[in-house]
Amino acid sequence: GVYNAFAGLLSAAGAFIDGKLLTPTTRLKFALIGAISLSFSTLILSFMPNFIGLISFSLLGVPGLFIWISSGTFFYAVAALDSQPWRSKYAYLVGRDIALGFTRITSYFILWWLFSALPQTTAIHWWLIFVSPLPLLIWFSLKRTAVYVHQK
């Protein structure tokens, strides 16, 4: 309970700081910092599955809020800048949510398969290694989206 309360307060404070620091010119740079911190902290947790690994994951993961807030603002900026009528923008946002939901369901199936095929600690270790580069891939996607937004 104490750890969850501390992590929640730290995340809330980090989100307020992110809101003040992010501008249209700095959000891609801060998103890179967030992607690196999330990838690095996930790798630390996978190789140190103990209390110290959990604390370092929590503390190093706070800058990861930059990438989540940046991704939200980029997707809505794309929808706002698009010259299509509102129905096309709505279809874009629905398509985005469908893609996110499909990948979430796919990841649940992969996790279910891992937990049924491997011991729990081994499955968790390999899953954390597998997901650690994903924030960097998301950052590359944001970078491509930023090029589109800044061309408009």
Tens of pLDDT, residue by residue over 22-57, are 676 777 777 788 888 888 989 999 999 888 988 888
* pTM for the structure as a whole: 0.70
pLDDT in tens, 85-111: 666 667 767 777 787 788 889 888 988
pLDDT (0 to 100) of residue 140: 83
Question: Which has the closest alpha carbon to 46: 130, 135, 138?
Answer: 130
